[in-house]
Amino acid sequence: MRNAFADAFYQIAKDDPRVFLVAADIGAAAGVNTFREKYPERFLNVGVAEAIMIGLSAGLAMRGCIPFAYTIATFTIYRPFEQVRDDCCYQNLPVRLVGVGGGVNYSLLGSTHHAQEDIAVMSALPNMSILAPCDPAETTAATLATAQIPGPVYLRLGKAGEPNLTSQAPDPFLLGKIRKIREGKDLAVLTYGPITKMACDVAEQISAARGKSVAVYSVHTLKPLDREGIRGVLTRFPEVSVLEEHSPHGGLGPQVKQLAWDMKATCRLECFSLRDEFIHFYGTHAELLGAHGLKPEVLREAWSRS
Amino acid sequence: MKPFDAREAKTRCLAFRKRILEISQTVPALHIAPAFSCIELVDAAYFGLMNRGGKKETDDTFVLSKGHGSLAQYVVLEKLGVIRKELLDNYSKPGWPLATHPDYGNPGIEASTGSLGHGLGLAVGMAYADKLQKKNRCIYLVMSDGELMEGSVWEALMVAPSFGIRNIVALVDLNDFISLGQTSSVLPNFYPMAEKIRSFGWECAEVNGHDSAAIVAAVQARSGTKPFVLLGKTVKGKGVKFMESVPIWHYRSPNPDEYRQALALLEEGSR
């Protein structure tokens, strides 16, 4: 996803002198390196100093520029939170806040590097848009789509090496719309980000075992949320499940439940998320998700239940 | 621009203080003392230093980074005809746009401030964009001394000269007071300040922040090879003896008796 972002960023930036990359001493992938070499005056490394990364980005935006502020998700939005809120959101400026390693992707780096409540925190901010693509191809689409957003954007990325899940997707990527990436009729999974792979794998296993037909939707635009699209899913499917690599508070699950309540939905609805706990445990990304109960076997059992 | 006339500045600043006192009688509380301490700095920026010919692309920018001093900027903008009198007459009134802290998008307000430590970072971004676009304009800020305690300010101070930025002039209202006491006793290691700023690659000068001619002269004498900080030594509540350096006047309106007394003291001090 990092590489896909970097390449898409380069596509946007190479012909547009308004576009900047403002980094806080975190290297990006090849596309950004090419940009850095070709347009050094528009690649700014402020050092280990996130408040100025965001403040400076907002100042650039006040002069008509389009800055992408880039570092690890926790440092993009938590450390300089007030600059994000006051400088970018209050003034409604087109600053693109790129967070690498959303969720618990940086599994071996520990909780200081886990952004497991980022969607909740960013959702609470007026004017903020949130994009969380599920694979490299969707990362490209989401990065290019930021051009349609006049205000601030939080772009939540995974790391590197994620597989493409959307090459056969029935729906195209449309900003602000949920996207069906796998057909199914008995159960719909609403998810976002790299954990979408787990949803697709489990859906495939259930289907291979001649079980339920499971549809998977990528909810890549978390704010503004496609309420109409989600209401449609809650209407059409007898069972709906939300899977997210995020705290149980303030993410997609609670919003889907709220929609379901408001529309008096009759489908079965279940939410799977990280727990409301820090992780004092090191391991692979999958092991950390597993420690909070997000395991393929748990989902398989739940989604196979009649 | 015609040469800066210090006598005219004195007349203006007296009128600005009186206007703020007048407004104080319409609201239960306002930041009088923080406004009074930076009146000459704000006045010098607008009337003696900034290029403001009315062209968006070339006009200098003003950011009141100490947003709680907003009245000092509002009265200047009113004098310049940027803010209508009606707006300021309805300061802090329900439904009206001007209140305690400047809000980006209101006439003449070029950044939303109020939380300290944001203005300089914004200025660094603006100045960098101007530098790349070869725009010959400058960003003027008025900052508080308490604001210099924010880490974000030091990040901005570190980055600006490192990125070759020269077109920032930060006027610091150094009144030596924070809300709960005197800076020099609460945080003695705040000082010396000029050396700290210079060691971050900025040019820095110190003047009496109520001496309009000295403010303008010191800024005009800068080399222009580095961004510039002017430490203006000021008195919080300047001009009204009973308010000067008395913490309660950070955020309080005078009662009618105090108002009359304050006006008399201002007149007396101006003679």
Cβ neighbors of B199 (< 8 A, separation 6 or more) are none
pLDDT band at B1 (very low <50, low <70, confident <90, very high): low
Mean pLDDT value of segment B204-211:
98
Residue among B112, B121, B124 minimizing CB distance to A90: B112
Q: What is the mean pLDDT of residues B189-198?
A: 97
Residue B262 is part of which domain span? Answer: 6-270
Query: What pLDDT does B56 receive?
Result: 79
CA-CA distances (angstroms) from residue A24 to A8, A27, A156, B5? 20, 9, 16, 46
Look at residue B1 and tell me if it is in a domain.
no
The 3-state DSSP class for residue A204 equals helix
Tell me the per-residue pLDDT of B7-19, one tens digit each, with 9 for 90 and over: 999 999 999 999 9
CATH code, domain with B203: 3.40.50.970
Residues of A whose CB is below 8 A from B155: 46, 49, 51-52, 55
- Give the confidence band of B192 by pLDDT, cuts at 50, 70, 90: very high
pLDDT at A26: 87
**Overall domain count for chain B:** 1
Residue B81's CB is within 10 A of a number of other CB atoms, namely: 10
Return all residues near B195 (Cβ < 8 A) that are at least 6 apart. Answer: none
**CB contact set of A204 (below 8 Å; sequence gap of 6+):** none
Q: What is the pLDDT of residue B247?
A: 87
Flag whether pLDDT at B270 surpasses 90. no
Residue B226 resides in a domain: yes
In a mutational test of the A interface, the residue from B113, B141, B152 whose CB has the highest number of chain A CBs within 10 Å is B152
- Between positions 107 and 146 of A, the ones with CB within 8 A of B are none
Regions of chain A short of the pLDDT cut 70? 28
Asked if the structure places residue B233 within a domain, the reply is yes
Contact A62 B124 (CB under 8 A): no
Closest chain B residue to the Cα of A53, Cα to Cα: B121
In chain A, which among 71-110 make CB contacts under 8 A with chain B? 80, 82-83, 86-87, 90-91
Whether pLDDT at B164 is above 70: yes
Q: What is the DSSP letter of A136?
A: H
CA atoms of A110 and A245, how far apart (whole Å) = 15
Helix axes B151-162, A50-62, angle to 10 degrees: 70
pLDDT of residue B175: 94
Question: In Å, how far are A31, A49, A62, A73, B14 from A87, measured between CA atoms?
Answer: 28, 16, 10, 18, 34
Domains along chain A with CATH numbers? 2-156 (3.40.50.970), 179-304 (3.40.50.920)
Does B199 reside within a domain?
yes
pLDDT of residue A289: 96
| Chain B residues within 8 Å of chain A (Cβ atoms) | 104, 110-112, 114-115, 117-118, 120-130, 132-133, 151-152, 155-156, 158-159, 163
pTM (2 d.p.) = 0.96
Residues B122, A87: C-beta atoms closer than 8 Å: yes
CA distance linking residue B104 with residue B174, whole number of Å? 25
Q: Using one digit for the tens of pLDDT, what is the confidence trace for A168-177? A: 999 999 999 9
